[in-house]
Amino acid sequence: MPEPTNRPERVISAQRRRRPTKTGAVLSRGLIVDTAIRLLGQHGTDALTVRRLGTALGADPSSLYRYFHSTDDLVLAIADTLIGRCVDGFRPTADWRESLRDLGHRIHATWLAHPQAAVLSTARVTGRPQEIRAVETVLGILLAAGFSPEQAARHYHSFIDLTLGFAALDAAYKALPRAAARADHDAWRSTYAALPAASQPHISACADALAATMAGSAYPAALGLFLDGLAGLLPGASRPAGGAPAE
């Protein structure tokens, strides 16, 4: 928002922008973003309209354009806010694998806590302060582990895509209507476990294990495999005979 000048009309404009809404709150970027995330959680992506936001805030919908020039601008702000919640309170340790594991689970948990907002914003690059802070943090962990800048960049890409990919997948499942989610969950026992061994011997052999593992997220196991693979790519890491050298 521009600084007020001595011109009367600019002073009046600034005063109006600070006037409380009908709910008694003073409109701000943070309040708008938090309200948008709440509406998404309650009503899904269709709720992200200027009119519904204005109603929820007790403000004239047109006043939102003083803070966000478009709905897409607001989506990027939502994404950046979620990223900030992931890294707030995070402190890397001397153990780079545990640091990445901790951060990965923080991202995954934050996305699942806000599945509708996550589905809407996962694929976006915000280029904003919280995302910049997160990128700097992960690259710092990888560089401190001993990877070169080129390796750190590639491994950051893999880490964040793995994490956000699973987060978006799990968030999309969580955002399903309850009946649809239950039907998908039950299919592993009602359909797959009932398949005959004569025609689907491999599914039949793994049916109980499939029903057990498909009930939860595969992210923890996939992240563990990824971190094990990274450890094997560090300079000087021991590898099986004939194994590929570190990239």
List pLDDT tens digits, range 70-122.
999 999 999 999 999 999 999 999 999 999 999 999 999 999 999 888 888 88
- d(Cα 30, Cα 50) in Å, to the nearest integer? 15
Give residue 60's pLDDT.
Answer: 93
Average pLDDT over residues 188-195: 95
**Two structure tokens written together for 156:** 């950051």
Phi, psi of 140, deg, nearest 5: -60, -40
Does 56 score more than 50 pLDDT? Answer: yes
**Whole-prediction pTM value?**
0.82
Domains of the chain listed by start with CATH number: 17-69 (1.10.10.60), 70-233 (1.10.357.10)
CB 41 within 8 Å of CB 34: no
Phi, psi of 68, deg, nearest 5: -135, 125
Give residue 120's pLDDT.
Answer: 85
Tens digits of per-residue pLDDT, 139-154?
999 999 999 999 999 9
Does 244 score more than 70 pLDDT? Answer: no
- d(Cα 74, Cα 82) in Å, to the nearest integer? 12
